[in-house]
Structure 1
Amino acid sequence: MLSTDERDDVMTATARERLLEAAVEAFAEKGFTATTTRDIAARAGMSPAAVYVHHDTKESLLFTVSIDGHRSALQVVESADDPAAAPPERLRRFVHDFSAWHASHSRVGRIVQYEFDALTPEHRSEVAALRRAIERVMQRVLEAGVASGDFAVDDVVGTTRAILSLSIDLVRWFSPTGPQTPQDVAELHARLALRMVLAHDD
């Protein structure tokens, strides 16, 4: 049986989850600027004052959504990358899993990508560090492919950004109720990424 403190912790965690889910709904539907804390509270079934028990500002809610989303995406690509695998397989798995994550979390992805400027400078800096970490994983994969002769890439930094954009930009148009599944999009993007970089004998 839970103690009083443990019950309070569970209730607090549940309230935070409800707030974050409500914030994602509101930000995705109306955008950060047009969303009010009253909107978020209503969606969460709470009073506006209850929001401030967990988050002192609307921006801090946005930051929590953004930082959690970026950490989740970074974990996905780090888990997907196996340095012992051949570079083409490393790239295929990276792009497949990164695109699948964005398609499966398209609302969160849309928020974290397109509400970046609404964050405070300090929060933007924290999120930017996670973005650079994701880029570094991709750069290592491309560099390994160039070193092995599998990839023909003159500009690793530029190519990294171009390939990442395949996954990131899908949040603009992907619909969970549309004809394509996250798996469909992930497999297509993985094939396209390989075509962009594979070296071919003349």
Structure 2
Amino acid sequence: MKKSVKRERFLAVVLGLIHKKGFKATTVRDMAQELNCEVSNVYNYIDSKQSLLEEYLFDVQNKFLIAIDAILDSRYSPDEKLRHVISSYIQITLKHPYEQALLVNEWRNLEEPRLQEFVERRISYESKLQHIIRNGIGHGQFKVQDEELTAQTILATLRWLHNKHLDSKSISNPMEIEKQLMDFIFTGISRRV
């Protein structure tokens, strides 16, 4: 992936456009119009619309997988590991809100074989989160009984965060957001808060 100031500006504008219109509805012509350039110039920055989607989805997914793998490899207790997973999720989302929006809303637009690869990696992340929860149940730290339901509930709680961050009317302190979400999640699952 070539990095340049022009490409970064191009990508920022295109991500905003995709967020506003949706991936399927956004055409290369729309991109050119938004950037006030010729359609052929768009291809100076991307190979195709699909390659752009793949690039961003796998890049942000890698960030989440690297974070959870580092947490799993730590010597933290399950309770602490879960706190770190939630914190890393929030930090990645707030740093890359448009990419997170793609991850939540547009992944189904991937084409095979990349779609299957993406789904397998998503399942891997969810399984790692379930593993942490299962260990927390086993250590008596969590009062829940179903690690899959708990993992999916936590992820559902976190997945909407990009919307709040992208809404310029409701800019919040990231530390306050993290504390509120952490308190909310741990009140529901922890034997002690």
Q: What's the CA shift for 1:196?
A: 2.0
* CA deviation profile, 1:112-171 (whole Å, cap 9, x unmatched): 210122221322212212212221221121121112111122111111111111111222
The equivalent position to 2:142 in structure 1, one of 151, 155, 180, is 151
Relative distance call for 1:164 and 1:59 in structure 2 (3 A) is: same
List 4+ stretches of structure 1 deviating above 6 A: none
The equivalent position to 2:50 in structure 1, one of 29, 42, 59, is 59
Return the alpha-carbon distance in structure 1 between the equivalents of residues 177 and 145 of structure 2.
27
Q: Does 1:198 align with 2:190?
A: yes
The equivalent residue for 1:122 is: 113
The equivalent position to 2:27 in structure 1, one of 8, 31, 36, is 36
Q: What's the RMSD between the two structures over aligned residues?
A: 2.5
Relative distance call for 1:52 and 1:119 in structure 2 (3 A) is: same
Percent of aligned pairs sharing the same letter: 23
Structure 2, unaligned runs of 5 or more: none
Structure 1, unaligned runs of 5 or more: 1-8
Return the alpha-carbon distance in structure 2 between the equivalents of residues 19 and 179 of structure 1.
24
The equivalent residue for 1:181 is: 173
Relative distance call for 1:16 and 1:191 in structure 2 (3 A) is: same
Contact 1:96/1:189 (CA < 8 Å) preserved in 2?
A: no
Contact 1:103/1:171 (CA < 8 Å) preserved in 2?
A: yes
Bigger radius of gyration among the two:
1
TM-score normalized with structure 2 length: 0.83
Relative distance call for 1:82 and 1:166 in structure 2 (3 A) is: farther
The equivalent residue for 2:95 is: 104
Q: What's the CA shift for 1:42?
A: 4.8
